[in-house]
Amino acid sequence: NATPVSVLGLGLMGAALARAFLNAGHPTTVWNRSAGKADALAAEGAVRAATVAEAIDASDLIIVCVLDYPVVRALLEPVAGGLDGKTVVNLTSGTPDQARRMSTWAIEQGADYLDGGIMAIPQMIAQPEALILYSGSRRAYTDHESVLGVLATGRYVGTDAGRAALFDLAMLTAMYGQIAGYLQGVALVDAEGVTAAEITPLIVSWLNAMAATLPHDAEQIDRREYTTDVSSLDLNKAGLATLVQAYEDQGLPTDVLKPIQSLIERRVAAGHGTDSLAGLIELLRK
């Protein structure tokens, strides 16, 4: 059914969200600080709101997707009186604490609040491969699950409004580790005249195979028990020394390798050389 939706923020992501609602047949009202970014959407059938207040008036479901939380605050605070009875779904990236504070504030204004973490790039929006994590008001999620479903596959992760951001940041952290390792690895073959195109399919298969072993690591981490029949930290210490040597032989930087090498060496020095790699979590967790 055609639930009216208002979208505040028409940057690369906000515009993709608004277009997805529009294409799915939802009456869509849009607002952006630089009004020109609403032109294309208006031509496709979106209603252009002249002010944030007008956008909030137009629909009970308000999607916010702007640069950061201070901007969300700056936009919503002046129109706080209009939020009573509305559902605010904030898809702006932020920290768990920022999400919790925003939730408290929105609830004080009489709104139902859902925070979201978008695990997708704008081009993936409206496709099932796109994932959006949601947390906060369970009622808001259940009531609007099908409307939100036009944006991406939705996953509700709990009533704590900070949880979507928490999961989002953990997933991004893992992604940065992957891209960092990938770039460092490509630099090694590049130094010997091998193209990224040649090595990349092999790296992709390797990373997929290694990713499949993470649930086993998860069990160890949750049990705090790090026996291994795969490879010990002692072995990995020797392995890292070999890796670093290969880079140094080429005169290449080792910025990405050094931190993991240092963690392994510290854990071995503390007497845990026979533990698995997953045991490094003990140096990283609280």
Out of 29, 59, 90, 92, point to the residue binding ligand NDP (CB under 6 A).
Answer: 92
Binding to ligand NDP in span 29-48, by CB under 6 A: 32-34, 37
By C-alpha distance, which of 164, 48, 142 is closest to 87? 142
Q: Which residue has the tokens 């040649």?
A: 198
For ligand NDP, which stretch binds (CB under 6 A), given 7-15, 19-27, 228-236, 246-254? Answer: 7-15
By C-alpha distance, which of 108, 118, 142 is closest to 63? 118
155 lies in the site for ligand NDP, by CB under 6 A? no
Measured CA to CA, the distance from residue 36 to residue 14 in angstroms comes to: 14
10 lies in the site for ligand NDP, by CB under 6 A? yes
14 lies in the site for ligand NDP, by CB under 6 A? yes
For ligand NDP, which stretch binds (CB under 6 A), given 69-77, 108-116, 207-215, 252-260? Answer: 69-77
Contact 135, 156 (CB under 8 A): yes
In the complex, what is the shortest distance from the CB of residue 6 to ligand NDP, in angstroms, rounded to a whole number?
A: 14
For ligand NDP, which stretch binds (CB under 6 A), given 102-110, 115-123, 126-134, 239-247? Answer: 115-123
126 lies in the site for ligand NDP, by CB under 6 A? no
Give residue 284's identity as a one-letter amino acid code.
L
In the complex, what is the shortest distance from the CB of residue 252 to ligand NDP, in angstroms, rounded to a whole number?
A: 30
Measured CA to CA, the distance from residue 14 to residue 126 in angstroms comes to: 12
Rounded (10°) CA dihedral 125, 47, 138, 123 = 10
Quick one: tokens of 208?
Answer: 């997929």
Chain contacts with ligand NDP (rule: CB under 6 A): 9-14, 32-34, 37, 65-68, 71, 74-75, 92-93, 118, 121-122
